[in-house]
Structure 1
């Protein structure tokens, strides 16, 4: 099974558990760091995420994973909030943070810059528009390697 298929399969099975505990399943990733594998589950809610909430979700998801055993190799399960400087993976995430400051990292420079920071104004399937100072800058989505919320306290 491909990594993408694994993640999609896990998402379908984990999402109802997370939602049943009053959280949103923000993102799932399965990564190798050094010699270790990690299944990372990011949860969110309107009221934030507490350590107790992460523990509750971790226990419930761990039970499911023990039952369905979807991953052949050994791994560590981590459950956390996406954090203040969260990566915006989906259109749903972009919609939620319209009007907020974001950082766009690019694969290759546009106008000699590989990083743009500004207020998320709008987006569509092809591009993201941000306000930099008083100018609207349009960045093609295929040029963007990562979109991150600019955490501000």
Structure 2
């Protein structure tokens, strides 16, 4: 079996031109095993949001290429979808787009006695993420300690 990272890189290279051609953003690609089945998940987005028809267009265009290349040895399920409202921030472009936005952060190890924070995303670099908390306190977190960071959902 090819390594997970190799398959995700292959899929990203395959899907990037397809998504760009249709004016979509390729947000993320995951190759994961859940409940005994492998899933190749491709997350796309566009201004105003993604519709089911958009996902179908991308899936139909990639399917024959995936079948012909036969790059993935195991059987798998292809899912093309929207990243959703609570999508995690993973790449630098996600962080850049979210500067000034309220984010929720879950940590692997507690910082100042807490493993969860909500605050405004002030800055980021390769090593750290800086939040402005409600009490106007600045909190600098190591990216390696962040289990999940996503836009806060306010309903």
Say yes or no: TM over 0.5. yes
Match of 2:46?
45
Cα displacement (A) at 1:140: 1.2
Q: Deviations over 1:101-136 (max 9, x none)?
A: 111111111111111111111111111111111111
Give the unaligned 5+ runs of structure 1.
none
| Structure-1 separation of matches of 2:87 and 2:118 | 14
Structure 1 runs of 4+ with >2 Å offset: none
User: TM-score scaled to structure 1, two decimals?
Assistant: 0.95
Q: Which has the higher mean CA deviation after the structures are superposed, 1-10 or 90-99? A: 1-10
Query: Following superposition of structure 1 onto structure 2, how do residues 1-153 of structure 1 map, counting pairs within 5 Å?
Result: 1-133=2-134, 134-152=136-154
Answer yes or no: is the 8 Å Cα contact 1:84–1:152 preserved in 2: no
| Structure-2 separation of matches of 1:128 and 1:86 | 17
Answer yes or no: is the 8 Å Cα contact 1:103–1:117 preserved in 2: yes
**SS of residue paired to 2:141:** strand
**SS of residue paired to 1:116:** strand
Q: CA RMSD in A?
A: 1.1
Cα displacement (A) at 1:151: 2.5
Aligned pairs, number:
153
Q: Deviations over 1:44-77 (max 9, x none)?
A: 1112101111111111121221121111111111
Answer yes or no: is the 8 Å Cα contact 2:14–2:62 preserved in 1: no
Give the unaligned 5+ runs of structure 2.
none
Q: Deviations over 1:22-45 (max 9, x none)?
A: 111100001111111111000011
**SS of residue paired to 1:61:** helix
